[in-house]
Chain A
Amino acid sequence: MIVDAHAHLGNFYASYPLRITTTEGVIQLMDRFKIDMACVSSLEAVQFNFFEGNQNLKQEIEKYPDRFIPLCTVNPRFGEAAILELHKCVQEWRFRGLNLHPTSGYQPYPADCLSAQETLSEASKLRIPVLIHSSQHDMAHPSRISKLADTFPDVTIIMGNMGYMTAWQDAIEAAKKYANIVLDTTSAQMCISLVKRAVEVVGPERVVFGTNMPLDYPGPNIVRITWAEISEEAKRKIMGENILRILRIKY
């Protein structure tokens, strides 16, 4: 059972034109790379209008209920409206987690700002995990995400991209200190020892893999796990079992 912990649906309007913008296109990629299920958030929601983005995501995944696990994206700066949206997505639409992306919108916000804390407090009440994109940028640095982990010990925080380009060692240190942090290897720096080191320091139960489809190629993110110098059991956990356990999904 291969479960992608970090993928997207929808279109992206910055940087470069996407080649795959349809849900069918993502399904084809999943089939080609033998990915059974994928946790997805809306690209429109990550960048622009999260109300519309979440709505579109809900409609898109209805066609493939056994392939996608939806995550609700909000911009915490919307305050009460963001919290209402999160409640609707989780309680009415059965979204399984919260997705935060501090640096992708037009106006980035610090991952540990008060409004983000208020949003996490709702995630705690709803008992859902939170995927937060992290990177070497100050706003989304693992040190800020550590602060959230410290404040909300009962919330599972998936450290998306585990520091991305140059902060992967900070991400591992953060997960070492806080037991509620899970490391997500998606599109993190391609350093040879990254996956092995993550497993050695925090154990195979707190590492998940993802592809970042359709923004990135799935292949490199898969081979980084399958070729890593870790046990076959650890690979199975990273490539599916862990994220299903975190999301409380039976299979």
Chain B
Amino acid sequence: MIMDTHAHYPGSLEVSLDPFSPIKTIEDEISFLSSRGVERAVLLAPLGDWLKGNRMTKETVERYPGWFVPFCTVNPTFGEVTVRELHKCVKEWGFRGLKLHPQVHRYPADSLMAQRVMEEAAKLRVPVFFHTGDWMVGQPYSLLARYVKVAEMFPDVTIIMGHMGVSDWPEALAMAKRYDNLILDTTGSTITYGVMEASVEAVGAERIVWGSDVPLYDPIMALSKVRDSDISEEAKRLILGENIARILGLKPKGVEKR
């Protein structure tokens, strides 16, 4: 089973990076993922109007049961509004995690406001999916180094490091070695020769997840990165779906359908 850990709801901001993307609706996204052999995905709620976006995501996920596992998007700078939204999404709507994008929402990843949300995530026992960026593309708010503090402060929260620092991935490996609560997300941005082999060598295959960044990026490239690397077949299976299913406590797709 191939499960995408990094699928975006096709909202306006997400699609703006590729205005010619053939994916405009959630139906387009499902058929595109299917064409690449992907059967299931973590659906990250839109980054723009996130309050409205979480509701849209809830409704979409209900329309396609078995396809998506929803993560809500919240912006910590809204304070108590954020905390209430997070609780509603997780407790009432059944969201399985939350997505934070410090760069898009413009707050430092290790800020006090972000820490407040992390405290709630710890109480709710849900994983947190962070966008992490590098120096090269100039993303100071979500700079990889900020997550050292976050990982250390919240050892009970499973933190998925989206993009694993992009070109700063060697540092992401060092961080994941030191902090057990960090999960490496291989999504997009770097196809550096050896990144898969080095990741498995550093932390083992169990703490690495695969994602595509659909509807921006073509999953076929991300799949090649894993399939054509020199890691074991078991490691590939874990990375391409089993790990994220385990982290989220999902049953196999067939079982859940019945």
Contacts and interface: CB of A to CB of B under 8 A. Distances in A.
Contacts, number: 90
A192 B22 contact: yes
B228 to A, nearest CB: 4
Query: Which of A20, A192, A217, A221 has the most C-beta atoms of chain B within 10 angstroms of its own C-beta?
Result: A192
A223 interface: yes
Contacts of B214: 192
A229 B224 CA distance: 18
B193 A18 contact: yes
Interface stretch (A152-160, A208-216, A240-248): A208-216
Given A16-B170, A190-B213, A219-B224, A213 B21 contact: no
A190 B228 contact: no
Interface in A1-37: 15-16, 18-20
B194 A192 contact: no
Contacts of A218: 228
A4 B42 CA distance: 35
Interface in A64-108: none
A191 interface: yes
Given A16-B170, A220-B222, A220-B224, A193 B21 contact: yes
B188 A190 contact: yes
Contact of B21 (A16, A165, A191, A219): A191
B213 A219 contact: no
B71 to A, nearest CB: 21
Contact of B191 (A214, A216, A227): A216
Interface in B207-244: 213-218, 220-225, 227-229
A223 B19 CA distance: 21
Contacts of B198: 16
A216 B21 contact: no
A215 B225 CA distance: 13
Given A19-B197, A219-B227, A224-B221, A192 B191 contact: no
Given A191-B18, A192-B18, A193-B21, A220 B193 contact: no
A222 B221 CA distance: 8
Interface residues of B, number: 36
A229 B218 CA distance: 12
B167 interface: yes
B224 A223 contact: yes
A176 interface: no
B23 interface: yes
Given A190-B221, A191-B21, A193-B18, A221 B191 contact: yes
A220 B223 CA distance: 8
Given A192-B18, A193-B22, A219-B228, A16 B221 contact: no
A213 B198 CA distance: 17
B255 interface: no
A208 B241 CA distance: 33
A197 interface: yes
B228 A192 contact: no
B17 interface: yes
B20 A197 contact: yes
B189 to A, nearest CB: 8
Given A217-B228, A218-B228, A223-B221, 18 more contacts: A18-B194, A19-B194, A187-B191, A190-B222, A191-B217, A192-B18, A192-B32, A192-B216, A193-B18, A196-B20, A215-B192, A217-B191, A219-B227, A221-B191, A221-B221, A222-B224, A223-B223, A227-B220
23 contacts: A15-B170, A19-B194, A165-B137, A166-B17, A190-B216, A191-B218, A192-B18, A192-B22, A192-B214, A192-B218, A213-B193, A215-B192, A217-B193, A217-B228, A219-B228, A220-B191, A222-B224, A223-B221, A223-B223, A223-B224, A224-B218, A227-B218, A229-B22
Interface of B: 17-23, 32, 137, 167, 169-170, 188-189, 191-195, 197-198, 213-218, 220-225, 227-229
Query: Sorted from nearest, which 6 A-B pairs have the closest CB atoms?
Result: A219-B224, A219-B228, A190-B217, A193-B20, A220-B221, A191-B18
Interface of A: 15-16, 18-20, 136, 165-166, 169, 187, 189-194, 196-197, 213-224, 227, 229
